[in-house]
Amino acid sequence: MNKDLKHDFLIHIILIILGILTFYPFAFTIITSFKDNFQFIHNFWGITLPLHFSNYTDAWSRISRYILNSGIVTTISAFGVLAVASISAFVFARFNFPGREFLFLCILSLLMIPGILTLVPAFLLVKRLGLLNTYWVLILPYISGGQVFAIFILRSFIASLPEELFEAARVDGATTLKSFFNIAIPLSKPILVTVAIMNVLGTWNDYVWPLVTIPDGRMWTITVGIVSFSSQYGGLEMWGPMFAGYVIASIPLIVLFFFTMRYFIAGLTSGALKV
């Protein structure tokens, strides 16, 4: 019994330490967002008074445009990925045609290619298409780049749906489109939300592709815009407004996950990540 108590106590200590290491950076970001430069330099770790709420108004005035750009790109990209990938996954899951498995394996093999290897070819392609400095230079590559993983996840989920549902729909005279929209999509809502959240996270946090393809500062996304803070202050590091910008930039993702957490967890626990 004593050995079990010692073992459990050790595990709890390790988990507490890991929890502190995980959540302290977030707490540090929030604490620092209320400091001015003097407080940041002379009391780096602790909470200082007075709290400078003006950091948030200052940060919002400088990054609101970037948040709008990221919101437009992320929303359209997520809907585009779901629209195209759900149709493709439905075809792979519910139709038998020659070469289906081979084609699916070819699509999966694209997961093995590091994204950085396609950076230069993708840039040359969008440059020739005249898409630089537009929303489409971000939206179209994000939609195409999100297809592989989305098809893999959605195909596995749709294939697990009972075939009897689709047979009953065909007996009642339902077309393929009706079966897709009235059966596959409603039943796949949890996994669709899961794929959408993962796609939103990747798109919202992407830094390299917007930096390379959007030279115009007015079109920057939030990740690139926040990095430009020091130049906006004439080369001075304004730590309080900068960290306030980090907090503001994370709020949309927190709100999104808060309202979709139930579907996200349902998608993960319903066999969504099973092959």
Q: How many CB atoms lie within 10 A of CB 14?
A: 10
Angle, in degrees to the nearest 10, between helices 147-159 and 189-204 = 170
In a domain, 31, yes or no: no
Q: Is residue 67 part of a domain?
A: yes
Is the separation of the CB atoms in 110 and 148 below 8 Å? Answer: yes
CA distance linking residue 134 with residue 142, whole number of Å: 13
Which pLDDT band, with edges at 50, 70 and 90, does 275 fall under?
very low
| 76-96 per-position pLDDT tens digit | 999 999 999 999 999 998 888
Q: What tens digit of pLDDT does each residue of 190-210 get?
A: 889 889 998 999 999 999 999
What are 22-68's pLDDT values in tens digits?
888 888 999 998 988 888 888 888 888 888 888 899 889 888 999 99
Q: Is the pLDDT of residue 274 over 70?
A: no
Whether residue 197 is contained in a domain is answered as yes
- Measured between alpha carbons, how far is residue 80 from residues 147, 228, 267 in Å? 9, 29, 20
Provide the number of structural domains found in the chain: 1
Identify the pLDDT of residue 48. 83
Q: Would you say residue 204 lies in a domain? A: yes
What CATH number corresponds to the domain at position 151? Answer: 1.10.3720.10
Domain extent for 262: 57-269
Is the residue at 275 inside a domain?
no
Work out the percent of the chain whose per-residue pLDDT is above 90: 24
Number of H helices, E strands in the chain: 15, 0
Say which residues have a Cβ less than 8 Å from residue 160's Cβ, sequence separation at least 6: 271
Instruction: State both tokens at 190.
Output: 């949890």
* Residue 93 CB contacts under 8 Å (≥ 6 apart), including other chains: 154, 155, 158, 159, 161
Q: Is residue 42 part of a domain?
A: no
Q: What is the DSSP string of 154-180?
A: HHHHHHTS-HHHHHHHHHTT--HHHHI
Q: How confident is the model at residue 259 (pLDDT cuts 50, 70, 90)?
A: confident
Please report how the helices 239-269 and 189-204 are oriented relative to each other, as an axis angle in degrees rounded to 10: 160
Mean pLDDT computed over every residue of the chain = 85
DSSP 207: -
- Determine, yes or no, domain membership for 111: yes
39 in a domain, yes or no? no
Tens digits of residue pLDDT in 125-170 = 999 998 888 999 999 999 998 899 899 889 988 888 888 888 888 8
Please tell me the pTM assigned to this model. 0.85
Can you give the pLDDT at residue 242? 87
Query: Coil, strand or helix: which one is 3?
Result: helix
Residue 69 has pLDDT above 70, yes or no: yes
CA–CA separation, 158 vs 28, rounded Å? 43
